[in-house]
Structure 1
Amino acid sequence: MNRIGFYVAGALVVLMILFSTLFIVDQRQFAVIYALGEIKEVVTEPGLKFKLPPPFQNVVFLDRRIQTLDSPETRPIFTAEKKSLVIDWLIKWQITDARQFIRNNGVDIRNVENKLSPIVQAAFNEEVTKRTVRNMLSTERDKVMQDVRGRLVDEAKAFGISIVDVRIKRVDFSANITDSIYRRMESERKRVANELRSTGAAEGEKIRADADRQREVIVAEAYRDAQKVQGDGDAKASAIFAESFGRDPQFAAFYRSLTAYRAAFRSKSDVMVMDPSSDFFRAMRGAPAPAPAAPTGKR
C-alpha cells in the first residue's frame, strides 16, 4: 500500500511538472519566455507551447492589441499670436517589439503611458506654437495631427511600440480667455441689438410721419370734396328757390318775411323797438307785399 501511494505521489509530481511546461498563447498576446531572469524567446504565434519548468523558465504575457492614451490633464498651449488654447488629445499605440518594450518599460503598460504622455504633450506644444488660433480651429487641424504623429515615430521605436493614430478631441480657449470672449460677444450682440432698435424706431417714426401726411391729405381732399358738394347743393337750392320765387313773387316775399322773423325772434329774451306800421311787419298785418320790379333786360 505504501508503494502504491508512493507511485501515486510520483505520478502527481510528474503531472505537475508536465503542466508547468505547457502554456497557451492567445492571438491577442505576446508570450515572453524568461530563462533565469533573461529574455529567452518571444512567442508571437498563438497555440499550445512548451517551455522548461520553473525556475528554469517562466513566461510573461503582453497585450498586443491597440491601446488608447488620453491626455492626462488640460494644460494651456500658446499659439503663434500668444493666445492660450486648451487641447484634449488621444493617441492609439501598439506593442511591436516585445523585447524592446520590456527593456524600457517592464511588463506594466502604465509605465510606458507615463513616459509617453509628456512626450506627446511636448510634440503638441511645438506644433501649436507655429500656428494661429484660426489654423488650429479649422484649416490645419489635420496637419497638426499628422506632424505630431511624425514626431512620435522615433520616440515610439525606443519604447518598442508603434503609433497607430493621433487625434485632437477638443480645441478650446482657456477659462480666462473664454470669459473675455463671451463678454466681447455679449457686447457685440448688445451693439447689434441697439442698432436694430434704433433702426426700427427710425422706421417707425418714418411710417408714422407718412401715415400722418396721408391722413392730412385724405382729410383735406375730403373737406374739399365736401365743400364742392355743399357748394353744388347750395347752387342747386338757390336755383330752385329762384325758379320757385319767380313763379309766385308774392309767396316769395312772404317766405322771405317769415325767414326774417325767424332770424329776428330766435331768442325769447330779445327786445326790439320798431314801428308796427313799418314794412318789416307787413306780412303780419296781412298787407300784400309789393311786387318785385320787372327786369329791364339782360346784363
Structure 2
Amino acid sequence: MRKTTFLIPLIVVLLAVGMSSIFVVDEREKALVLQFGQIKSVKEEPGLNFKIPLIQEVVRYDDRILSLDTDVIEVTPSDDRRLVVDAFARYRISDVVQFRQAVGVGGLRAAEDRLSSILNAQIREVLGADQVTSDTILSEDRRILMNRIRDQAKASARGLGLDVVDVRLKQTNLPTQNLEATFARMRAEREREAADEIARGNEAAQRVRALADRTVTETMSEAEREAQVIRGEADARRNGIFAEAFGQDPEFFAFYRSMQAYENALQGSNSSMVMTPDSEFFEYLRSGGRQAPVDQ
C-alpha cells in the first residue's frame, strides 16, 4: 500500500515532466527553443520536438504572410501639391533568430511598429523625390513607385528578420482643407467649358437661323416675282379677252362698266351716298343705256 501511494505521485510527476518536454511545431509557424533567454535551437519544420522541461521554453512565431496597415501620412511631391497617402504592406518573418535578436520580448507588436516607421520613411522618400509629381502618383506609373517603396523597405527590414513581400497604396487623396478649393476650381473649369460650349452653340444657331431667314427671304422674293409675272400675264390676257369681247358690243361694255361702278360704290350694309339728282353717276340709268356712264 505504501509503495502504491509513493509510485502513483511519482508516475504522475514523470508523466507531467515527459509531456512538458514534448512540443509540436505547426506547419504555419516557426519556433525557437530558449534556455534562460538564450536561443538553443530553431525549429522550422513541422512535427514533434523535445526540450528540457523547466529549463527550456518554446517561443512560436507565425510563418504565414502577414498584413500591416500603415498610418495615414501626408507627402509633398515635387509639384508641391500635398497628398494624403494610406498604404499597407504584406510581410513575413524570414529569419526567426534575427527577428528575436532585433525585437526581443516585444514580439510582433514591436516589429510592426518598427516596420511601420520604415514604410512611412520610404513612402515619403520615394513619393517626395524630385522626378515624382502628384500626376505621376495618380497615373499608371504608381505601380513602379510602389515597387520602389517595397524594394527599399525590404532592404531596411532585413535587419529585423522580416521580408517585405509587397507594398500597396490604398488611397491617395488631397488633404481635407484642400478638397473644397479643388472642387471649386474644378467646378469653375466645368462651368467655363459649359459657357464656351453654349456660346459656340448659340453662334452656330444664329448662323443657321440667318441662313434659314435668308433662304426664306430669297424664296419668298422669287415666289413673289414669279407671282407678279404670272399675275401680269393673266391681267394682260384678261384685258385682251375683255377688249376683244367688249369691242364686239360697245353697248354691253357700257352697261357692264356701269354695273361694276354701282357695285363698287354700294358695297356694305351701311353704304350712304350724297349727290345731286342730276349727278352724272346715274346718267346711264336715266339715258336707258344710250350714253356711256361715268367711271368711278
Q: TM-score, normalised by structure 2?
A: 0.86
> For 2:281 and 2:41, how far apart are their aligned partners in 1?
156
Segments of 5+ residues of structure 1 without an aligned counterpart are: 291-299
Q: Tell me which residue corresponds to 1:102.
A: 100
1:21 Cα deviation after fit: 0.9
1:264 Cα deviation after fit: 5.8
Q: Tell me which residue corresponds to 1:207.
A: 208
Question: Would the aligned equivalents of 2:90 and 2:167 in 1 still touch at CA under 8 Å?
Answer: yes
> For 1:146 and 1:258, how far apart are their aligned partners in 2?
110
Cα deviation 1:72-114 (Å, max 9, x = unaligned): 2x22111112221122222221112212111221352111001
Q: Partner amino acid for 1:58?
A: E
> For 2:153 and 2:246, how far apart are their aligned partners in 1?
123
1:271 aligns with 2:289: no
Alpha-carbon distance change, 137 to 262 in structure 1, aligned in 2, over 3 angstroms: closer
Cα deviation 1:138-171 (Å, max 9, x = unaligned): 2542332233233223422221122222222222
Question: Would the aligned equivalents of 1:84 and 1:173 in 2 still touch at CA under 8 Å?
Answer: yes
Q: Partner amino acid for 1:4?
A: T
Identity %: 34
Question: Would the aligned equivalents of 1:29 and 1:62 in 2 still touch at CA under 8 Å?
Answer: yes
Q: Which moved more, 1:262-271 or 1:45-54?
A: 262-271
Alpha-carbon distance change, 209 to 140 in structure 1, aligned in 2, over 3 angstroms: closer
Q: Which moved more, 1:246-255 or 1:21-30?
A: 246-255
Q: Tell me which residue corresponds to 1:297.
A: none
Describe how 1:99-248 pairs up with structure 2 within 5 A.
99-107=97-105, 108-130=107-129, 131-138=132-139, 140-248=141-249
Cα deviation 1:32-64 (Å, max 9, x = unaligned): 11122321111111111111111x111111111
Alpha-carbon distance change, 247 to 31 in structure 1, aligned in 2, over 3 angstroms: same
1:116 Cα deviation after fit: 1.4
Q: Partner amino acid for 2:209?
A: R
> For 2:36 and 2:266, how far apart are their aligned partners in 1?
148
> For 1:225 and 1:178, how far apart are their aligned partners in 2?
69
Q: Partner amino acid for 1:50?
A: F
Q: Partner amino acid for 1:209?
A: A
Question: Would the aligned equivalents of 1:283 and 1:289 in 2 still touch at CA under 8 Å?
Answer: no
Question: Would the aligned equivalents of 1:254 and 1:289 in 2 still touch at CA under 8 Å?
Answer: no
Alpha-carbon distance change, 214 to 40 in structure 1, aligned in 2, over 3 angstroms: same
Q: Tell me which residue corresponds to 2:73.
A: 75
Q: Partner amino acid for 2:185?
A: R
Q: How many residues align?
A: 286
Q: Partner amino acid for 1:240?
A: I
Aligned to 2:139, the other structure's residue is in SS state helix
Cα deviation 1:147-203 (Å, max 9, x = unaligned): 323322342222112222222222222223333222111111010111122222223
Q: TM-score, normalised by structure 1?
A: 0.85
> For 1:156 and 1:28, how far apart are their aligned partners in 2?
21
1:128 Cα deviation after fit: 1.4
User: What RMSD over aligned residues (CA atoms) do the two structures have, in Å?
Assistant: 2.5
> For 2:11 and 2:242, how far apart are their aligned partners in 1?
154
Alpha-carbon distance change, 148 to 285 in structure 1, aligned in 2, over 3 angstroms: closer
Q: Tell me which residue corresponds to 2:253.
A: 252
Segments of 5+ residues of structure 2 without an aligned counterpart are: none
Question: Would the aligned equivalents of 2:32 and 2:96 in 1 still touch at CA under 8 Å?
Answer: yes
Question: Would the aligned equivalents of 2:70 and 2:88 in 1 still touch at CA under 8 Å?
Answer: yes
Question: Would the aligned equivalents of 2:122 and 2:152 in 1 still touch at CA under 8 Å?
Answer: yes
Q: Partner amino acid for 2:84?
A: V
1:215 Cα deviation after fit: 2.9
Question: Would the aligned equivalents of 1:254 and 1:283 in 2 still touch at CA under 8 Å?
Answer: no
Aligned to 1:138, the other structure's residue is in SS state coil
> For 1:265 and 1:87, how far apart are their aligned partners in 2?
99
Alpha-carbon distance change, 263 to 157 in structure 1, aligned in 2, over 3 angstroms: closer
